[in-house]
Structure 1
Amino acid sequence: MDMDRAYNNADFIPGGADNPDRWLADGRAFRETEAAVGRARLNVSYGGGARQKLDLFHPSGKAAGLVVFVHGGYWMKFDRAYWSHLARGLTARGWAVAMPSYTLAPEARVHEITREIARAIEAAAPLVAGPIRLAGHSAGGHLAARMGCRDVVLNDEVRARLKRIVPISPIGDLRPLLQTALNDTLGMDMDEAEAESPALHAAPDVPVTVWVGAEERPVFLDQARWLAEAWGAVHRIDPGRHHFDVIDGLEMADSPLVAAILD
């Protein structure tokens, strides 16, 4: 198998290369709208790094709790600005949404990014009362899943408030990436790939739903299945969805994906 081809999404999705520009425009429009009505708190620092910041979007009334959404991009692309609009469905349901950026590879190793996301969650938690739910897409799905692993340090309050994790199209086993050109940037060895693979860790103590699009590349269907089987998690295959539009449901309050996170 050509592993670079197997883990390539954009070349197999019509118009795939155009998506980042659209995401960035949609994210900017959402931030501007929410900031204008006082429902956006932007550029909250959670560490000293240039990218260690998060945006927080509030519902119109008192928040029922906090959802932290972690973006994807193979740990080496994008930032929170591309995904702001994905908070729309969750805030419409009455939840606050935090979206962190993080230091990208090769400046940071995957295990360092994992620690950054834990710090981002700890920084966001005091800003919103109530239960915490985690979601993330692709590499962000990996990072959200890692937060449920026992070797990741989260403070006691955050652990007590954490009630659900929904990895979307996650990479649950990082070992296959050692055979790709992606690892030229990630710089993983086998020890790190194993340590950072959620599917090789014990299942979390909170409910997990692994979500994936039915039209995704075969390796992503495999990755979702491996994680769901390893953790005994709910495994949802979203009909007609590929790797880039599988997250579109987050914009709709009545979508099955929003329900999987909140209900």
Structure 2
Amino acid sequence: MDLQAEYDNRARVPDHPRHLAAWQRDAAAWREACPRAELALSYGEGEREALDLFHPAAAGDAPLAMFIHGGYWQALDRSFASHCARGLNGRGFAVAVPSYDLCPAATLGGIVGQLRDAAAFLFRRHRRRILAVGHSAGGHLAAMLLGTDWRGLDPALPADLVAAALPVSGVFEIEPLLGTTIGAALRLTPAEARALSPRFLPSPRRPLHCLVGGAESGEFLRQSRDFAAAWGGTFESAPGADHFTVIAPFADPASAIVARAAALAPP
């Protein structure tokens, strides 16, 4: 199997620059249009350890979600994903969209730690458990949050701080990437890659739904299907969607996947 071809999504979708430009445009538009947004909240000391929090139009206590951007842990930031909060905002959710440091300057383990810090920051601030949603590398991070031993990090945190997850086109086994151009910047040994692979971690037995584009590579389809089975979750393939178009429905409060996310979230 040609793993480079399986995982190189930019090569698989030649017009990906158009999609990235549209994400930037739509994200900027939602930052302007969202009636109640808190921008650049620091959850750590680093420049990229910040998140934007988009509140629903109605004031008051709201369920809480986090949308984690992709970029294979090496590209992009929260400014490309603001619009992915719009769908859940329209269903009464507050949605946090964090940035994090990037490889190779950061380690993958360090990035996981940053997202844990972001989730803990949100809980301490809002006292709400979290639905973690993430795309691509963000799907991996959402899964790692779902599987985190929160009490081991801080006994004051609830064991199910991240109570449900909806990873989108995620990577749950890191080792197949190591020989590709995507994996080079991760600088992981096979043992380290396995330790950071949700597929091989104990299932937290919490709600999990894996979404992947139906037009994605066989490896992406396999990874989501196998991970959902391993952790007792559910699996869905979006017909005709590629790695970039699969997240479009998250901007639409009426979309089926946003309805699924809302139903998956903790009360």
Match of 2:45 in 1: 48
Deviations 1:111-162 (A, max 9, x none): 1100100001111223435442111011000000011224565545353443
CA–CA separation in structure 2 for the residues paired with 1:2 and 1:119: 36
* 1:65/1:128 contact within 8 Å kept: no
Q: How many angstroms does 1:164 deviate by?
A: 1.2
Bigger drift between 244-253 and 18-27 goes to 18-27
Question: Which amino acid in structure 1 is aligned with residue 94 of structure 2?
Answer: A
Matches within 5 A, 1:1-263: 1-13=1-13, 15-34=15-34, 37=35, 39-61=36-58, 62-150=60-148, 155=154, 156-263=156-263
Question: Which amino acid in structure 2 is aligned with residue 73 of structure 1?
Answer: G
CA–CA separation in structure 1 for the residues paired with 2:85 and 2:195: 31
| TM-score, L = length of structure 1 | 0.93
* 2:5/2:12 contact within 8 Å kept: no
* 1:118/1:154 contact within 8 Å kept: no
Q: How many angstroms does 1:205 deviate by?
A: 3.0
CA–CA separation in structure 2 for the residues paired with 1:69 and 1:63: 19
CA–CA separation in structure 1 for the residues paired with 2:125 and 2:73: 26
Q: What are structure 2's unaligned runs of at least 5 residues?
A: none
Question: Which amino acid in structure 1 is aligned with residue 215 of structure 2?
Answer: E
Deviations 1:153-201 (A, max 9, x none): 5545353443311111110100101121222211111121000000001
* 2:78/2:98 contact within 8 Å kept: yes
Q: Structure 1 residues 126 and 63 mapped into 2: Cα distance closer, same or farther (>3 Å)?
A: same
Question: Which amino acid in structure 2 is aligned with residue 109 of structure 1?
Answer: T
3-state SS in 2 of match to 1:140? helix
Bigger drift between 51-60 and 156-165 goes to 156-165
3-state SS in 1 of match to 2:203? coil
Bigger drift between 96-105 and 206-215 goes to 206-215
CA–CA separation in structure 2 for the residues paired with 1:150 and 1:82: 26
Deviations 1:81-100 (A, max 9, x none): 00101111100000000010
Q: Structure 1 residues 91 and 225 mapped into 2: Cα distance closer, same or farther (>3 Å)?
A: same
Deviations 1:68-90 (A, max 9, x none): 11111000000000010111110
Q: How many angstroms does 1:10 deviate by?
A: 2.0
Give the total of aligned pairs: 260
Q: How many angstroms does 1:228 deviate by?
A: 1.0
CA–CA separation in structure 2 for the residues paired with 1:142 and 1:251: 21
Bigger drift between 15-24 and 164-173 goes to 15-24
* 1:66/1:129 contact within 8 Å kept: no
Q: How many angstroms does 1:63 deviate by?
A: 4.2
3-state SS in 2 of match to 1:199? helix
Q: How many angstroms does 1:13 deviate by?
A: 2.3
3-state SS in 1 of match to 2:166? strand
CA–CA separation in structure 1 for the residues paired with 2:126 and 2:252: 22
CA RMSD of aligned residues (A): 1.6
Q: How many angstroms does 1:14 deviate by?
A: 5.1
Q: How many angstroms does 1:256 deviate by?
A: 1.6
